[in-house]
Chain A
Amino acid sequence: MRKVKNRKVIRVLADKSFRNSQTRNMIAVLAIALTTILFTTLFTIGLGTIESFQYATMRQSGGDSHGVIKNVTREQYEKLSMHPLVKESAPNMLVADTIKNPEFLKRHVEAWYYPDYHYEHCFIKVIDGEVPKQPNEILMDEVSMGLLGLEAKAGQEVTLQMQIKQSSEKITERTFLVSGVIQADPAMNVGFAIVSDAYLETYADELVYTYDQDYSATGAIRMDVNFANSIGIQEKLDQVVTECGYSTDETQKNYIASNANWAYVSDSADGDPTAMAAMTAGLLLIFFTGYLIIYNVFQISVIKDIRYYGLLKTVGTTGRQIKSILRRQALILSVMGIPAGILVGFFTGKWLVPYILENSIYESGAKVSFHPLIVAGAAVFTILTVFISIGKPSRIAAKVSPVEAVRYTDQAKNKKEGFQKKSVRGGRISRMALSNLTRSKGRTAVVILSLSLAVILLNSVFTITNAFDMDTYLKKFVSSDFLIGNARYFGLDYYWGRSGSIDEENLSESFISACEAQDGFEDGGRIYGTGEIALDAATYQEPKHVQRDEDGNVYQMVFGEKMPLNVDKRGAYAGQSFCYGLEDFAFNKVEVWKGETDMEVIREKLASGKYLLGIVGTDDNDKPIEETVMHLPGDRVTLVLEDGTKREFEILSLVKENYYGLTRRMGDTFVYYTTADIFLEMASQKYLMSYAFNVQDDKKDAFMDFVEQYTSTQEPLMNYESKQTYLKEFSQMTGTFILIGGVLTLVIGLIGILNFTNTILTGMVSRKKEFAMMEAIGMTKRQLTRMLILEGLYYAGITIAVSLVLGSLFSSTVVRALAGGMWFMKYHFVLWPMLTVLPILLLLGVLIPYLVYLPQKKQDLVYCLTDN
């Protein structure tokens, strides 16, 4: 093909006709901007969530270094850090095994040495004062300062009770000067005290490397490593270790452990099919919405200008050139619309991300930066949408023949030769209005679809929100108004119920008394629990589905390997067994699945001391999982007590596992329930795990303030959970959903309205002459306005009908399936959200045609009549 130098003339033509269609341009730019907003918001939310997850993961793992080589000596460190792959490294060191100050029992403080050049990588930010230099200077985080009853200001003295090595119980009291205060990281329930280089030198003799003897982390270097990039971190770590002459084999003597920072290992989003599906669905929805309006705008504009394109054809413009004229115009419009859309979209997304994260464990520290990927993604997707949308209109413009162009009208094409319209009432204004909608069935359909989309989306958002079932949600987490216990019980330390640790993890009787004495207290019950009472392995008779390995041991599958259950020296499955004793209030919360169901009988029989209740695990939907059953009702079991004595019981019934209410919040293999009295016959009353109680409805808020106050001042080691806490969490979750759904619906709704306005507007402009003629033969402006408003109302009416039909269909299929997949959702078919917006639709149907017609009312009749 011959290359012709015609770029310039095409450009001139494109730009000239571009300037001729101001209204279209305005609407197209708006449409493109709105589409971009949607894409940008989606990408910002997507990337922002990933980024925040990654950032939170980094903070939890202690920094953004690529990897860590663990527990090395100074010499090993020197050698490893010289390896050519290592770009940057830091010899971090724990300087005390534990900080024993009682103020830090609920929130531990770790004493570390970090070289100051490495602070940034560990997210250490000095907010007051300066970096420590002297041996007695430290950095401390603001929250820890607060726990010590100090202001978050540098220059104060703190005394730390340090247990230097875990092998020695010796506590060293050392007083430091806080040279600087650092920002506390809410992602971690841990505080930090950071010492200087000088400290290491001064106390070098207590920081000797003994890891090879007693596994003491104090004195061993935790080496943070950064490579040139984050690809293949573990492989690089292994390479560094082996090439320095050490082994990566755990059984070897010169073994050195290392691992990659999991923030780099797991990119939270790509493994998550739900997130990917949501993202894809979002992209498709936005693309479709954008297509509906951009296509419509260009279709209308091309048909309006069809004679112009015919004329261009007559003077020799080729179809391809006409297409490139349109493409150029679309490009100019995109260049105008996309930047504005990206800006608005980014800030919308940035505003939404914290709300999304609020419901995840990464609650605090949303981090959304203006990533080039957001700009690129949104721009590319919008341009793609624009170009796909103008495909059909530009084909029409390119294909039109000069002669056709003159006669080309936007008529429905189904009027065949013999077609007759057998009505005689069409002269009625209402009928005329209805007929006008059928002039271009395609366009009417696009507008109606565009509007319906927003309505259906709105209905779906509210259907899902409505499906959020508070009772189901609460039932999982809450069995009583309040549950109190040791802070460890609620935290990540867990309640182990073992004799060695029980004094630090049990609930205090004083807290219970304080609650019982408080105004509004109704009724409550203690829950005892211990892991010291365990199942006797020798006499265990397992149900059929429980299997034994070749050696006859009961095993569990752990990461695809058979792990036989541990048997301790008493011959019991210690570590896998847990026995609970319930007072009446707590006892009433059990839910029987199999066996004796009469609660009175159960209570009586349990009190005899000859029976126990076993459990069955449940899934998210509270359905029992049969494979978790370790005993059947009627089975005889022998329990081994702490002192080694054995006691025989019969399993009376199986109850459903009540994870949050009646367990230590860890799954144990063999779990037994009995009454508090029987429990206390077998174990000490210090194994007090928790206390559940109810409070008068009108006193709940006051009670909440009381326990909050009590646990922070009176007994800081105690903690609580209340129904209110979970209620708040629940409403936060539904709120977030409404917010995001609302924003999406709003923008899609705006697009629908814009599409509607554009169609009405261009419809009026192209019918100007027709209106003038009708006026000439006697249609008053009032009648004309009425007809236009009726047209708008028909649009609204059909939209309502379509929304009702498609919305109901969508609701009862897709939305139902979606809600069914979530354990805390209960699908109900609802139409009220849709019904509430219907008046708005009707109002729009009246207002938009009216407002659009207003300026045209003044136009000169003769001018309109003769204007071609």
Chain B
Amino acid sequence: MNILQTSNLKKYYGKGETMVKALDGVNLCVEQGKFVSVVGTSGSGKSTLLHMLGGLDRPTAGTVEVDGRDISKLKDEELTIFRRRKIGFVFQSYNLIPVLNVYENIVLPVELDGRQTDKTYVEDIIDVLGLGQKKYNLPSQLSGGQQQRVAIARALAAKPAILLADEPTGNLDSVTSQDVLSLLKVSSDRFKQTVVMITHNEEIAQLADRMIRIEDGRIKSDGVIKEGERHA
């Protein structure tokens, strides 16, 4: 079953001479529970794709269906609510709320939705991501890797349909990057979480089940990565 599907997705910026076709007819399907990486150089359109998939921006043409729903048709307010229920984000710059502690940051999307926190589930996530000791610390007291793990936990806590990660290791050194990524991979497997990760680093992209290469707003290649091909 496809949890995520785009058809002829286009995003153009500007007009006439200066028009930039950030996305130019992207057709993409992602199956439930898969870990997909999207690679491309800067300016290839991969970030725009992620913004479209996450409902942060609206396409010029085409549709984005998440969990069977065309999100390009939703109103702003509906879209925000849809986002907090169906999509989890992990950003390059962590983006934790400085005044909330680790636990509060993790449950924030659930709280915003007014739902009851699934405590055992959240504890589980915290355990898997090794944040048990830091539960009550403020973000400013954590290292970069720890902050990104909190961001992953936050993305998972709402049990979203897809987890979108935008260069999750962009600000981390290579050892920490590996560490964070394997945790992402582990939790994806453990919680059967669909993950779409954007990166410009092919080595990191190799960790996924499937790697999509994007260039000039179009999909250049799309292939399943077999266990043996992985470097890690």
Contacts and interface: CB of A to CB of B under 8 A. Distances in A.
Interface stretch (A372-380, A520-528, A755-763, A767-775): A767-775
Interface in B83-110: 83-85, 88-89, 91, 95, 97-101, 103-105, 107-110
A424 to B, nearest CB: 5
Nearest to B77: A780
Interface stretch (B51-59, B178-186, B202-210, B224-232): B51-59
Nearest to B158: A778
Main secondary structure of the interface of B (DSSP, over half): helix
Nearest to A417: B141
Given A419-B141, A420-B137, A773 B91 contact: yes
B112 interface: yes
A424 B80 contact: no
A424 B104 CA distance: 6
Nearest to B105: A427
Contacts of B100: 421, 426-427, 432, 435
A777 B154 contact: yes
Contact of B136 (A415, A422, A425): A422
A703 B11 CA distance: 89
B74 interface: no
Contacts of A861: 56-57
Contacts of A782: 77
A420 B97 contact: no
Given A427-B100, A432-B99, A862-B56, A777 B108 contact: yes
Contacts of B85: 778
A510 interface: no
Contacts of A427: 100, 104-105, 107-108, 110-112
Contacts of A423: 101, 104
Given A411-B140, A427-B108, A862-B57, A439 B76 contact: no
A198 interface: no
A773 B95 contact: yes
Q: Tell which of A409, A435, A769 has the most Cβ of chain B within 10 Å.
A: A435
A355 B95 CA distance: 59
B138 A415 contact: yes
A784 B147 CA distance: 23
Contacts of A775: 80
A777 B98 contact: no
Contacts of B104: 421, 423-427
A439 B136 contact: no
Interface residues of A, number: 37
A861 to B, nearest CB: 5
Nearest to B101: A421
Contacts of B88: 777
B11 to A, nearest CB: 10
B140 A415 contact: yes
B84 A777 contact: yes
Instruction: Pick the most buried of B111, B136, B137, B155: most chain A CB atoms within 10 A of its CB.
Output: B111
B189 interface: no
B57 A436 contact: no
Contacts of A435: 99-100
Nearest to B57: A862
| Secondary structure dominating the interface of A | loop
B99 A776 contact: no
A423 B104 CA distance: 8
Nearest to A865: B56
B113 interface: yes
A280 interface: no
A862 B100 CA distance: 23
A410 to B, nearest CB: 10
Interface string A713-739: 000000000000000000000000000
Contacts of A778: 80-81, 83-85, 109, 112-113, 158
Interface string A774-803: 111111111100000000000000000000
Nearest to B91: A773
Interface string B172-206: 00000000000000000000000000000000000
A545 interface: no
Contacts of B158: 778
Contacts of B89: 776-777
Contact of B111 (A419, A428, A439): A428
A780 B76 CA distance: 9
B112 A783 contact: yes
Contact of A777 (B47, B76, B83): B83
B154 A420 contact: no
Interface in A299-321: none
A856 interface: no
A415 B140 CA distance: 8
Contact of A779 (B80, B95, B137): B80
Q: Which of A420, A422, A428 has the most CB of B within 10 A?
A: A420
B42 to A, nearest CB: 12
A520 B100 CA distance: 77
Interface in A428-470: 428-429, 432, 435-436, 438-439
Contacts of A421: 100-101, 104, 136-138
Interface in B14-64: 47, 51, 54, 56-57
Nearest to A435: B99
A424 B109 CA distance: 14
B209 to A, nearest CB: 25
A423 B99 CA distance: 11
A326 B51 CA distance: 41
B205 to A, nearest CB: 21
A6 B56 CA distance: 48
Contact of A781 (B54, B77, B91): B77
A779 B84 CA distance: 7
Contact of B97 (A409, A419, A432, A776): A432
Given A415-B138, A428-B111, A776-B54, A420 B80 contact: no
A411 B141 CA distance: 12
Contacts of B47: 866
B198 to A, nearest CB: 13
A836 to B, nearest CB: 34
A774 B98 contact: no
Nearest to B154: A777
Contacts of B91: 773, 776, 865
A38 to B, nearest CB: 36
A763 B56 CA distance: 24
Given A779-B112, A862-B51, A426 B99 contact: yes
User: Nearest 9 CB-CB pairs, A to B?
Assistant: A778-B84, A427-B111, A426-B104, A435-B99, A420-B136, A773-B95, A421-B101, A780-B80, A427-B108
29 contacts: A415-B138, A415-B140, A415-B141, A419-B138, A420-B137, A421-B104, A421-B136, A422-B101, A423-B104, A424-B103, A427-B104, A427-B110, A427-B112, A429-B112, A432-B99, A435-B99, A435-B100, A436-B99, A439-B98, A769-B95, A770-B95, A774-B108, A777-B112, A778-B85, A779-B84, A780-B77, A862-B51, A865-B56, A865-B91
Interface of A: 409, 411, 415, 417, 419-429, 432, 435-436, 438-439, 769-770, 773-783, 861-862, 865-866
Given A415-B138, A435-B99, 17 more contacts: A411-B140, A421-B100, A421-B138, A422-B136, A423-B101, A427-B112, A429-B112, A770-B95, A770-B98, A774-B97, A774-B108, A775-B80, A778-B80, A778-B109, A780-B80, A861-B56, A862-B51
Interface of B: 47, 51, 54, 56-57, 76-77, 80-81, 83-85, 88-89, 91, 95, 97-101, 103-105, 107-113, 136-138, 140-141, 154-155, 158
